[in-house]
Each structure stands twice: as structure tokens, then as C-alpha cells.
Amino acid sequence: MKKTLAVMLAILSLATVAPPAAKASAPSGTIMKIGLSYDSSVLPSGNLQNVSGAGSGFEFGYFDGNGKFVSIGAKYEDTSITVLMDRNMSWHPGAGGGYGEYRENLDGTAIIGCFHIQLTGGYETFGAAKATADEYADSFIKYASGAFFVCVGHYLTRADAESAIASKGWVRCAVEAGTSNTVTVAKTGTSTIIFEYDGGGSRPLGVMPVSAGGEKCETWFRGNRYRGGFQYNRRSGDKLTVINFISIEEYIKGVVPYEMSNTWPMEALKAQACCARTFAESTRNRHGSSGFDLCPNEHCQAYRGRGNANARSDSAVDDTAGVYITYQGKLCSTFYSSSDGGATENCENVWSEAIPYCRGVIDPYEADVASMIPRYEWTVTYTPAELTQRLRNRGYNCATIVSLHVSKYTLTGNVYSVVATDENGATFTFSKREQLLSALGVTSIRFNIGNAVATGGGIYANSSTQTLDKGGTYYVVGGDGEVTEIEGPMYAISSNSQVDIVTGEGGVGSGNGMIGGVFTIRGKGRGHSVGMSQWGAYSMAQNHGKTYVEIIKFYFTGVDVG
């Protein structure tokens, strides 16, 4: 120790001082808050590694109400750090999904105690506190109540810390253990503490990677590389919620190559970028109760940072920067899914709310690339016993199911409802996507049950021997006299506006739905069928020379793009 404790204490200021002047900075553009670990996936600790080019460590602070990072002047050159709960913790290599983590036990290879010797008094700036902390071995700086404090050592019990004070003969100091908001920052995998932070309940710790050469930083977090900064918040006073704070354009660069292959046509990628950007803004604060805007999963949009990003996917975002999809001046809910099987659907026929720009359209483009689409055509089969048990498992009090048929189609030929009948004559109706998926295990709402069309006579086309249900080529004549070829099955609108499949027997879903004694459901497409088909966008760009604006306007009725 280069100075005596008495000399050091003479330099200390009052215990509580005003917060230091802080400078706000942020990536350009609106900031999005993306939950990385939250709710059931909160963490005891979370590692960060600054790996971009000349990555040179991190600085600490907090994020203001606009999502901008506010530095408190605390910077460290360590490029691998871990933020953990201020508890007695130990390091477990390979834990936490293989990334290693600190856990609340003493079984690990490096132990960090939560009791510290805090020297009396506080400093206005990080630099002033550091000048003092440098005089002590095993010291670190703590930020709390707007001031910086010098702490020495870490101990497993208060008694251990008090014994250390007695052995040193120190007077003006106290044992501190932090609050339920306090987080500790350690050198990853070691028992070395480099910083502690307590911003109360309103200002959780913000961590921003530093780049010595001015490059855009990329930081590893649990197997993925992200841009932007990170917030660690003990929301319940326990484990950590981790949130990525990032500009919306950088966020979209982390969405596009995970929602669509980075090798796809540029116009399709641009359409995806516009849909993803508009969806993000229109659903901002979707997870507000958990402290962030969007999750990184399919519930919102797939977001994994920089791993799949390349020059093409980045360019699609840059070339459409700031472009949104609107309807009558308001942002749209730009839904999209993998494939629609030949037609998208009105939103109210899938979920509940009718949205004027989410209208179903016949999609001729997917057929061009059907052979490229994984599992595009699918078949689901059940024996009567299997289907009966499946329905019983979902709360339906049914006897053995003996018949299954489509009871209503939509205007674009998708399935709206299905009726199952048991051996006692009881019927069970499943309507709209969620019920259909749950009851039948289908992957889209475009399917037929049993024979694709019913057999029998009654309605003929092309000749006196060919009924509509037997397949073949059919034509319709438009109001302008233009003749257009169509594929079956064919549909008709009844007087009560119900859309029914036209068959040789003139009925809907004829037969019991079985082929060879097994209920057989055959369909096309994967996804909810509302809004843009990603594979349709691929085909429009690749095979038909359509621009991203044309793609968007095809799938979203009456919208503006700009």
C-alpha cells in the first residue's frame, strides 16, 4: 500500500454527491429493445466478448428513456466480461448452454463473494475513484446513488469481511453487500471483480462495446454476435433479464438473413427488409411488460444478429433504409410466412380482426418454385382411433370419429372449417387456423380431406362424360371476354355468401374423409397464410422480374411503400 489509509481518507469527498455529467450517444436511427434472455430464460450471469476488429473492451452506464446509451465514464479494456447477480457465485465452465456461467453455489472453479469492504466516502467521477482504487490490491469501483465508491476484496460472509477489516486496522470503512438491484462485473471465468453497479430500479446497467479503430462493434452473447449495447436488469431482484439495444436498421440486418436466405434475389430480400422493418415499428413494445419491444423468436421475428448476415442481406436493408409499408398513412401489420400453398387469406378468416390490407389473393407464383420449397406438399393421416384420441387429448368428449370433412371454404379456396362426426352422430366443428392446427396437426389451411374431390356425376365440363371432380383443364371467361385457364378444385358462392367446393355431387367434402380406412389430409404450404409469402416473393423476383414494391403491393392490398 503506497499511501496510508489516513491520507487516503483525507482525499475522499462526501458520501453522496451529484451524478457526473454524462454524454448520450447511440447508433443512428430509432432504437429497438430486443429481449435476449427474459421471463423463463433469465440468467444468473451473462457473458459478453467484444470481438469486432479492434475490439477494446467496454464502457458502462445506462440507457435513457429514448434508448440512448449514457456513459458514466467507466471504461475497461477487458474484452471478455461477465455480468452476474451480486450473490455468492462460482464459475462453471461449459454450463449455460456450453458458454460457461456463474451460478449461485460454491461448486465452481472460481468463487466470487458478495460481501465487500467499502471505503467511506464517494467520488464525483470514475477517474477520481480509480486513482484511489489503484492504491489497493484486490480493489474495484462501485457505482451507486449517483456516486463512485472504492471497494476492496470480496468475502462469502459478513463476518469474514469484518475480520478482514479488523486485521487491517481500518476504521473509516464498512461492509457492504449491495441490494437486489446490484450487479457485479467480473473477468469471465475468474474471481476478479472489475466493477459493480446499482442504478436502483429505474436505471439498470448498460454495457456498450468500445472500438479503438471506429469499426462497428460485434459482441458475442450466448453463441451469437450482436451489434449495439446490452442492458442487464434484475427485474425481480433475482436473475438477469438481458436486452440488446440496437438501431432499427442494424436490427433489421439481424432479421433478414434469418427470415430469408441471404442468397435469395435482391428484390425479395428488399421486400423482406421492408416487411420486417414495418412489423417492428408497428408492434413496438409488444413485450413491454417484460421491459423490451420484441423477442428474438418466431413470436415476433427471428433475430440472431450478425451470424448469417452478408453483403447482400446488408445491402437489401441499406437500399431500403427508412422505407415503410403504410395504409391510409398508418403503419401496417406486415405479416409474412414461408408459403401459402396457392392463395393467401383474409386476416379475419385466420385470426379474428379484419384488416383492410390483409386480403386473401390467389398466388400463382409459388407453383413456379414448388419443387424448391421444403415440405411444400404434405400429408397427415390418422386411423379413427388415433384421431379420436387426439381430439380427446384436446378436451373434446367424443366417441370414435367415423367421418371428417371440410364444411366451409373461403373465397380463395382455403379451409375455413372442418366437421368431425363420431359414431353416436355427435359433431365437432373446428374453424380458423388455430383450431384446425390443434385438432388436425396440419401445417397450413390449404388442404383437402380424403379424396381431393368427390366422385359421382351431376355437373359436367368439356364433355358429357367429364364431371368437374375428375380433374382436367377448365377455363373461365371474364367480363372483358378474356378466357383464362384455371386449375381445380373449383368453388362457387351460394346465396348466403358461403363458399363451397364444386364437385360432381354438388356437395362440400363428400365422403367420410378416409382413404383405405385412414383419415387422409393432403395440403400445400407452411405458415399462417396472411400477408406475404416468402417463397412467392422469391418466385416473383427470380422468375418474373418483379420489384420489391410490386411484391409488397401484390400481397398487401391498397398499401403505399415509401
**pTM score:** 0.85
* Average pLDDT of the chain, as a whole number: 88
Please report the pLDDT score of residue 12 as a whole number: 30
In the predicted model, is pLDDT for residue 340 greater than 80? yes
354-409 pLDDT, tens digit per residue, is: 999 999 999 999 999 999 999 999 999 999 999 999 999 999 999 999 999 999 99
Helices (H) and strands (E) in the chain, counts: 12, 36
pLDDT digit string (tens) for 241-293? 999 999 999 999 999 999 999 999 999 999 999 999 999 999 999 999 999 99
Using alpha carbons, select from 327, 336, 191, 199 the residue that is nearest to residue 260.
Answer: 336
Check pLDDT > 70 for residue 165. yes
Model confidence at 467: pLDDT above 80: no
Q: Following DSSP, what letter does each residue of 330-355 receive, concatenated?
A: EE----EESB-TTB---GGGTSS---
Q: In sequence order, what E strands does 39-138 have?
A: 45-50, 55-63, 69-76, 80-85, 89-92, 101-103, 111-112, 115-119
Averaged over 532-556, what is the pLDDT? 98
Instruction: Please report, for residues 250, 280, 303, the alpha-carbon distance to residue 277 in angstroms, rounded to integers and kept in the order given.
Output: 10, 5, 12
Is the model's pLDDT at 210 over the cut of 60? yes
- DSSP per-residue string spanning 237-273: SSSBEEEEEEEHHHHHHTTHHHHS-TTS-HHHHHHHH
> Which of 474, 502, 522 is CA-nearest to residue 341?
522
Map out the domains of the chain as residue ranges. Answer: 5-248, 254-345+531-561, 377-524
Alpha-carbon distance of 440 to 436, in angstroms, equals 6
Angle at CA of residue 65, ends 226 and 185, nearest 5°: 50
CA dist 204 → 62, 311, 538 (Å): 6, 35, 43
pLDDT tens-digit series, residues 52-90: 656 789 999 999 999 999 999 999 999 999 999 999 999
- In this prediction, residue 505 carries a pLDDT of 36
Going across the sheet that includes 560-561, the strands are 330-331, 325-327, 560-561
Give the C-alpha separation, 298 to 316, whole Å.
21
Residue 514 pLDDT > 50:
yes
Q: How many CB atoms lie within 10 A of CB 17?
A: 16
